[in-house]
Structure formats: C-alpha cells, structure tokens
C-alpha cells in the first residue's frame, strides 16, 4: 500500500473509503481505558494525526516500546474525530514499530526547549513544531521565488561557487585551496589547484551580468560566503542570495522590481503557508501580522542617501546612536531600524549612496559623487536588499577601476560586456535568510538556516 501524507488526510473534505497507510514519528503517547492514543507527525504539516489504537487489536505487543520519537507505520481507517481540534483521526488496524527512541536519551521529550539548546542538536531540531514549520517555510519561499521570476520571463541561471574575484571588493573572502595548509609556506601558488588564488564567491553578480547581457532577464539563487568576522544575529558566513539581473534597465526599474518582489513573496507565503506562519505570530512575535501587512500596503518610502543622513543626524540628538550618522559613512543596522521602525514605520528604500563607500561596478551618477544604487530596509531586519545600476560606460568603468587600484586584466571579460553591445543594466541581491527572519519574526540568523556557519562555529 502506498503511504498517505498527513497533510493530505487532514485537509480532505471527503471520507476515505479504503484503509490508508501512514508513516511518521510519535510525538506523544497517551493511554486510557481500552485505548492508546498516538499523536503522529510525518513532517508534511504542522498538525499531528491522532491515531487511536484499541487494546483489542493485535499489536504484537509493540505499544510498550513506542514512545516519543519512535518511528512507526500504521494502517487504519480514517474516521471522523469526536475529539476537539481535528476533523479526522486514524483508527488503527495494524501498527508496526520501525525504530525505537530511548526515552532516557532522546533529547526532544515533550517540553519547550530554548533556541540555544536546540542549536546544539541542529540534527534533531527539525522534529520540533517550530523548526519543522521554519524549514517548510524555507522550501515554500524558495518555490515562491522561482515562481515569481518564472512568471515574469526571467531565466534561472547558475553562477560559479569558486571564483578568482572579489565582487564586492570588501576583502571578506574565504580561500579555496587544495594545498596542505601545514606545509603551505613551502609551496608556491602555481602548485595550487587552479595555479592562482581562488575563493568562495561573495556574490554571483558579475557572471550573472554576462548572462543578462545575452538572455535579457536572469536570476541566480545560491549559496554565498563571507568571512566577515562579525558575530551578529544578522550575519552568517554561509548564506543564500537571490540575485536578479536585468538588461536594458535603470535604477528606477530595479527599485520597482525589488518592491514588487517583496510584496509578491509575502502575499504568496500568507496564502500558501497560513498554518506554519500562524505558529510564529502566536509563539515567536505577536507583531508579525502587522509587519507583514505593512509590506502588503506596498508604498515603500523612497529617499536618497543624503536625505536619510539628514533625518538620522536630526534624530541623533534624541536617539543617541552608537555610531554617529555622518555623510560618507555606511548606514548601520541601528540607523536602518530607526528609519523603518520609528521614523517612517514602513519599509524604506535608500538610493544614491556616495561612490567612495560602494563597489567598483556601480553606475556613477552625473554628480560624479554618488552611484545609482539602492538598499531596501525592512523593520526588524534592516538591510535585506542591496543592488544597483551597473556602470555600462567602458571609459568610466576603467577609470573607476584604476582609481581603486584594481587589476583590469582579470576583468577583461567583464569589460567586454561594455565593449560589445553595451546596455544599461541593473540588479540586486536579497539575503534569503534575512527574508525568512522577516517572515517568521525569528531574531537570530542561526535559527533560520538548518546548519548555520558563523565565526568559530562549524558543527555538523
């Protein structure tokens, strides 16, 4: 018999005529006169299926070994549940114990555990309600992202994980080498696997630009790596980024796309993951529905960097920021959160930052001081998106690279895009984990990725 998933059973409007087979893990077992009740979860949804095992059926005496965490297979009839809270339950005909979970040592006995403790058992935490819901949301969000771009004629492309270049120029690179580290000093770079320095990518953007300048609209969605030694709740060393890149587009078009993107993703997840989402507004963050509605109202505030600094400078007197907001420095998380949570009380898009604090590839504005770029800021999160129009003028780009002392030879292929049929083009990068934090209200990035990688922490 083919197994049925619990989410199918629970949402079924009609009676199942034939017996079904369910396979899952026991959350709790309760015994009463003449019956045992098992709460069974198979990961397909938040809800458990109640299984009723009458004492009179032949269980091969396995019930005594079935407790929290055990895996079982149950064949039975779906019947209307007389109990509260569920429409259907399963009347067991046959039950098989697949794997026991020793109650002395199984760490997920029925009680609430702290996020910190659960991080130490990341290999088991997906079996709790909260983390099960999180990883289902992660999957649904990924699907929503592909759906959004597919509907709009974007092509999903794959950009390299191993690269020779530092796209962002921030020097936060992980080296990739096949040399034996212990004897590294005795070797020269020619001995290394690629015969040159290699790194894990910090962004797929530069290669995505090449495909955008051929296919028109593309996006990449993959893991990126940054050796930022900042132990904050918003930074991971390995995180996923969604990066659309659009040919024949300017800054305004990409700002519109960013706003529409966030709006659509939130709409999708509210529609398709309501019960998983409800767990977070009940148990993690009561103000979550309000914040999600805020995005759906759609009128993100748009202002330039100079305007943002003016507001922050005024506010500094009363807010006493840790970092003084001065023209020419990057916005800090405390500034971003002030703008979204206190000042505008909605999502904010800041554009046209000074060129000196931004990477080489951004389009220089006519003022020759700022570049055509954007940051999308969300309440609770701060920066979720960074992007820009790209410099499409060969001469200006070469000058910029010279100013920054970059080795142009390594970028000949990138410069070719400006030599041959150059077009204005623009794109952005959205941090996928930060999106999940926004959607669930979870406040630490370590809890929205199954196996987080952070400074001095590489478990599992």
Q: Which residues bind ligand 4AD (CB under 6 A)?
A: 167-168, 203, 205, 226, 228, 235-236, 239, 241, 243, 383-387, 427-429, 431, 433-434
Q: Which does 25 bind (CB under 5 to 8 A by kind): Mg ion, ligand 4AD, none?
A: none
**In angstroms, rounded to a whole number, what is the distance separating the alpha carbons of residues 59 and 70?**
15
Report the relative pairing of strands 425-431 and 382-389 from DSSP bridges: antiparallel
Query: How much is the CA Rg of the chain, to the nearest whole Å?
Result: 26
The one of ligand 4AD, Mg ion, none whose footprint includes residue 203, by CB under 5 to 8 A per kind, is ligand 4AD
Q: 207 contacts which partner out of Mg ion, ligand 4AD, none, CB within 5 to 8 A by kind?
A: none
Question: Of 377-436, which residues contact Mg ion (CB under 5 A)?
Answer: 386
Strands (DSSP E) found in 226-347: 238-247, 301-304
228 or 416: CB nearest Mg ion: 228
Closest contact distance (angstroms) between CB of 415 and Mg ion is: 24
- The length of the chain is 460
CB of 294 to ligand 4AD, least distance (A): 18
* Residue 379 binds: one of ligand 4AD, Mg ion, none (C-beta under 5 to 8 A by kind): none
Pairing of strands 88-99, 49-54: parallel
CB 108, CB 69: distance < 8 Å: yes
Distance CA 339, CA 299 (A): 15
Return the number of the residue (301 or 330) whose C-beta is nearest Mg ion. 330
Q: Which of 332, 342, 422, 341 is nearest to 383 (CA)?
A: 332
With respect to Mg ion, which residue has the nearer C-beta, 76 or 386?
386
CB of 51 or CB of 364, closer to ligand 4AD? 364
The least distance separating Mg ion from the CB of residue 118, rounded to whole angstroms, comes to 30
Q: Which is nearer to ligand 4AD, 43 or 233 (CB)?
A: 233
Least separation in angstroms between residue 157's CB and ligand 4AD is: 12
Number of residues located near Mg ion, criterion CB under 5 A: 1
> Closest Cα partner for 74 from 27, 37, 21, 28?
21
Q: Which residue, 131 or 428, has its beta carbon nearer to ligand 4AD? A: 428
Specify the residue, 386 or 441, whose C-beta has the smaller distance to Mg ion.
386
359 near Mg ion (CB under 5 A): no
Q: How far is the CB of 386 from Mg ion (least distance, A)?
A: 3
Pairwise CA distance, residues 21 & 42, whole Å? 12
Contact footprint for Mg ion (CB under 5 A): 386
């Amino acid at each position: 018999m083919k197994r049925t998933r619990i989410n199918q059973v629970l949402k079924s409007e009609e009676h199942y005529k034939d017996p079904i087979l369910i396979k899952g893990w026991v959350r709790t077992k309760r015994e009463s006169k003449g019956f045992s009740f098992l709460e069974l979860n198979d990961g397909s949804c938040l809800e458990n299926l109640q299984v009723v095992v009458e004492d009179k059926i032949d269980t091969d005496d396995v019930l005594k070994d079935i407790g929290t965490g055990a895996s079982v297979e149950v064949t039975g009839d779906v019947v209307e549940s007389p109990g509260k809270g569920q429409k259907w339950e399963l009347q067991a005909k046959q039950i098989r114990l697949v794997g026991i979970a020793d109650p002395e040592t199984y760490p997920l006995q029925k009680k609430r555990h702290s996020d910190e403790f659960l991080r130490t058992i990341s290999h088991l935490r997906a079996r709790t309600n909260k983390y099960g819901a999180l990883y289902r949301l992660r999957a649904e969000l990924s699907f929503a992202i592909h759906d959004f771009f597919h509907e709009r004629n974007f092509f999903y492309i794959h950009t390299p994980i191993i690269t020779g270049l530092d796209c962002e120029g921030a020097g936060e690179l992980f080296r990739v080498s096949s040399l034996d580290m212990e004897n590294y000093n005795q070797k020269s770079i020619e001995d290394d696997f690629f015969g040159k320095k290699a790194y894990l990518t910090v962004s797929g953007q530069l290669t995505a630009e090449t495909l955008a300048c051929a296919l028109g609209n593309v996006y990449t969605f993959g893991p990126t790596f940054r050796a930022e030694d900042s132990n904050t709740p918003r930074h991971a060393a390995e995180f996923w980024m969604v990066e659309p890149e659009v040919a024949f587009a300017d800054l305004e078009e990409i700002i519109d796309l960013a706003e529409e993107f966030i709006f659509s993703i939130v709409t999708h997840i509210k529609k398709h993951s309501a019960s998983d989402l409800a767990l977070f507004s009940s148990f993690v963050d009561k103000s979550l529905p309000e914040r999600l509605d805020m995005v759906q109202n759609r009128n993100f505030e748009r202002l330039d960097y100079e305007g943002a600094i003016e507001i922050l400078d005024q506010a500094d007197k009363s807010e006493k920021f840790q970092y003084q907001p001065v023209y020419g420095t990057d916005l800090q998380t405390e500034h971003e959160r002030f703008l979204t949570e206190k000042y505008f009380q909605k999502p904010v898009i800041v554009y046209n930052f000074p060129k000196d604090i931004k990477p080489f590839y951004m389009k220089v504005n006519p003022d020759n001081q700022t570049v055509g770029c954007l940051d999308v800021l969300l309440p609770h999160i701060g920066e979720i998106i960074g992007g820009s129009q790209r410099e499409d003028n060969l001469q200006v780009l070469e000058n910029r690279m010279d100013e920054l002392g970059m080795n142009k030879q390594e970028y000949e292929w990138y410069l070719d895009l400006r030599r041959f049929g150059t077009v204005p083009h623009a794109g952005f990068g959205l941090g996928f984990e930060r999106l999940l934090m926004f959607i669930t209200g979870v406040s630490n990035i370590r809890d929205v990725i199954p196996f987080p990688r952070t400074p001095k922490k590489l478990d599992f």
